[in-house]
Amino acid sequence: MTDKHAYTNALIHSGSPYLLQHAHNPVNWEMWSENAWKRAQEENKLVIVSIGYSTCHWCHVMERETFEDVEMAEAMNEHFICIKVDREERPDIDMVYMDACQLMTGRGGWPLNAICLPDKRPVYTGTYFPKDAWNSILKQLYDLYLKEPEKMLEYGKKVQNGLEEMNLLEFPRTEKTNAADLRNTVSKLAESFDMEYGGLDRSQKFPMPVVQEYLLDEYQISGNEEISDFIHFTLLQMANGGIHDHIRGGFYRYATDKHWFAPHFEKMLYDNAQLISLYSRAYQIFDADIYKKVAMDILAFIERELKENNSGYYSALDADSEGVEGKFYVFQWPELQQILEPNEMELASEIYGLKATGNWEHGNNILHKPLAPLQLLEKTGLTIHEMDALQISIQNKIFTFQNSRIRPSLDHKKLCAWNGLMLKALADAAKYFQDSNILYQAQQQATWMHTHFFRENILYRYFSENGEKSEAFCEDFACYISALISLYEADGDWQWMQTADKLTAICIKHFYDAETGLFYFTSDTSETIMIRKSDNSDDVIPSSGSILALALQKAGIILDNMQYLEIGKTGLNHLRAQVIQNPAWYSNWCRAAQAESIGILQIYITGKYDAEMEQRFRKILPEWALVFTEKNNHVKAMQEKMQGKPGNIYICPGDTCMEPVNSEERAMEILRDLLHYGI
């Protein structure tokens, strides 16, 4: 008991924002621990493993309806051991039970609820349950375990076998990807394009930056204008849709429709970091100012709302405020009439698609941009300067009004992997915008990460104010290593590659499986929950395996380490069939296959630093190619390797180098030939 709460359980000692949200439920929740499982065995009780995250809307709903109900809690406490898990702190637990949920039900999501035997094997799984359904399920399972435990034990064994089959890594070894394979992969991916609204043709729309990054690479390789058109269409549809916050910046997690209109309003660091990288790169390739504006708006949002001074980045903002999804972000017509002048209100309704009765549910308006800038100018009769001035005034007034509202809750934990994605975003933006201020932010972030996540040769996934910490998963190594390589490309400071080298060696030692050429998600020193999984499917975050496949190919070249280079290629030997057949779920592996097929391209520009020449090369090269200048530490070593051969531009596909050239035009010709897979 406390002065403010009728109930307090063991989660009060956690540093996880999600677990703390449940610390005052009447359910006797406890954290995942061997002691909890030992007690389940001693008391011979089934275990409820309930998994979610702090910004999960349906997790909040189930908590209010079910876990805050005293009668329901009493039944759970009497007959079960109850464990709560933050999926973002313990993705290893989530991955295994999500596999079980997919195996049993054919679908998944959060909250993820599993009823388990005392040995951790699940016998029932599902996502959100209303209270009555949950109560009925628990009664049936309790009675069955009490009366016929052998049936549940047998079913648990079948689930275990099914999980082992799902996660077999015994794929046939195949040869190097050829040009025809890569062309077919692009064609296969194109079958899933939504030509009407952009993105992949799915009923709910996730940004999926990794798919667009692959298409950008493919456009730079092939010059296919149809791919270019689709990239533009998708990026503009996302930027103008309701999934993009047009007042505060940043993107919501996904749209609940095909039109990018009605979002699920949570904002995640991992989405927005990847979108900074994507839009920055699109600006660099296409010279479209709108892409730079979008990237800078995202960056401004993150710096303002997801950062603690110079101490890394928080994880997420909730979808809900005051118990209502999206309440902070939507507006009623009368509210806006009160804060905007009549002429501003008239223009705002055109810019953001506002309606007096609301353009969404319950009379609310979601701000989106249904008209292109030229259409707006034509419809309103305003000049560009008049339009810009009014837009700034409208946005500032809405922003100020919004600040008076109760804010969504903040998930203040800092994860190594997601901070790594943000470090890469800063390095990419600095590189593509040639922005020294953003580069300084990236350097500060890299220094902070090294100090706080990498201690005494141990990488940690997270740490909290109460001293709680957890050793890193493969995802943390992958995102951090990849980001350090990007930062080295941006500023040429060799210390970043030294850290990347140390991390890579540790990662290979503890996560790499030499038999399959793939990486396990968990270390060989950490807890194994039924099975030891490998993370290879590219989703809203690329898989740790594919990130490492690209990072190791790059690191192998930069560090002149043939082991890294070979390991970076070997995973493809076992996954190649899946990659070619299903590129929508292996987009980052497709990029690794491009790099393997052509060879990691390196361009070394010697002599006086020429930023514009560097950018012209980046404009035609895939993201996985490397452009180095005098600022990069190892360019001098490359000159020595060429033994003084005349020329100031060196082109090296893979681990071999061509004769140097003096002409930028000639270098461009050579690169275009190399980029077409030899066709």
DSSP for residue 408: P
pLDDT of res. 40: 97
State the pLDDT at residue 310. Answer: 79
Q: Which residue matches tokens 């592996």?
A: 589
Q: Decide which of 3.40.50.720, 3.40.50.620, 3.40.30.10, 3.40.50.2300 is the CATH code for 10-166.
A: 3.40.30.10
**Sequence-distant (≥ 6) Cβ neighbours of residue 102 within 8 angstroms:** 108
Q: Apex CA 434: angle with CA 429 and CA 439, to 5°?
A: 60
DSSP assignment string, 121-186: -EEEEES---HHHHHHHHHHHHHHHHH-HHHHHHHHHHHHHHHHHHT---PPP-PPP-HHHHHHHH
Whether 602 and 555 have beta carbons less than 8 Å apart is answered as no
Contact (Cβ atoms closer than 8 angstroms) between residue 211 and residue 585: no
The interaxial angle of helices 494-511 and 544-558, nearest 10 deg, is: 130
Q: How far apart are CA 586 and CA 98, in angstroms?
A: 19
Those residues of the chain that have pLDDT short of 70 are 1-3, 169-175, 465-466, 642-646, 677-679
User: For residues 596 and 534, is the Cβ–Cβ distance under 8 A?
Assistant: no
| C-alpha–C-alpha distance, residues 122 and 113, integer Å | 10
Helices (H), 287-383: 289-305, 333-339, 342-351, 373-380
Distance CA 552, CA 559 (A): 10
For the record, the structure tokens of 278 come out as: 């994507």
pLDDT score at 170: 63
Q: What is the pTM of this model?
A: 0.95
Burial class (CB in 10 A: 0-12, 13-18, 19+), 2: exposed
Q: Where are the domains of the chain?
A: 10-166, 179-322+411-598, 329-404, 601-675
**Would you call 85 helix, strand, or coil by DSSP?**
strand
Q: Count CA atoms closer than 13 A to 674's CA, side-chain side.
A: 25
520: DSSP letter: B
Residue 249 phi/psi, 5-degree rounding, is 85, 165
3-state secondary structure 375-390: HHHHHHCCCHHHHHHH
The residue among 261, 254, 251, 266 whose CA lies nearest residue 302 is 251
Residue 327 makes CB contacts below 8 A (sequence gap 6+) with 320, 321, 405
State which amino acid sits at residue 70: V
CATH 1.50.10.10 describes domain 179-322+411-598? yes
Instruction: Mark 322-349 as b/e (b = at least 16 C-beta within 10 Å).
Output: eeebbbbbbbbbeebeebbeeebbebbb
The whole-number pLDDT of residue 11 equals: 96
Instruction: Please tell me the distance from the alpha carbon of residue 613 to that of residue 556, in angstroms, as a whole number.
Output: 25
Amino acid at the residue 184: N
Output b/e per residue, 263-290; b: 16+ Cβ within 10 A.
Answer: bbbbbbbbbbbbbbbbbbbbbbbbebeb
Q: Extract the tokens encoding 65.
A: 């309806």
Query: What pLDDT is recorded for position 2?
Result: 46
Beta strands 454-455 and 458-463 are: antiparallel
- For the chain, the residue count is 679
CA distance linking residue 412 with residue 393, whole number of Å: 32
**CA-CA distance, 304 to 302, in Å (whole number)?**
5
Cα–Cα distance between 343 and 349 in angstroms, integer?
A: 10
The pLDDT, as a whole number, for residue 678 is 41
Which is nearest to 275 in space by CA: 291, 292, 295, 260?
Answer: 295
> Is the bond leading into 111 cis (omega within 30 degrees of zero)?
yes
**pLDDT at residue 468 in the model:** 73
What pLDDT shows up at residue 670? 93
How high is the pLDDT of residue 178?
A: 74
Cis peptide before 583 (omega within 30 of 0): no
Nearest-CA neighbor of 56 among 111, 14, 96? 111
Reference 553, options 596, 521, 497, 500; nearest CA is: 596
Q: 620 φ, ψ to 5°?
A: -105, -5
* Tokens read off for 57: 């809307």
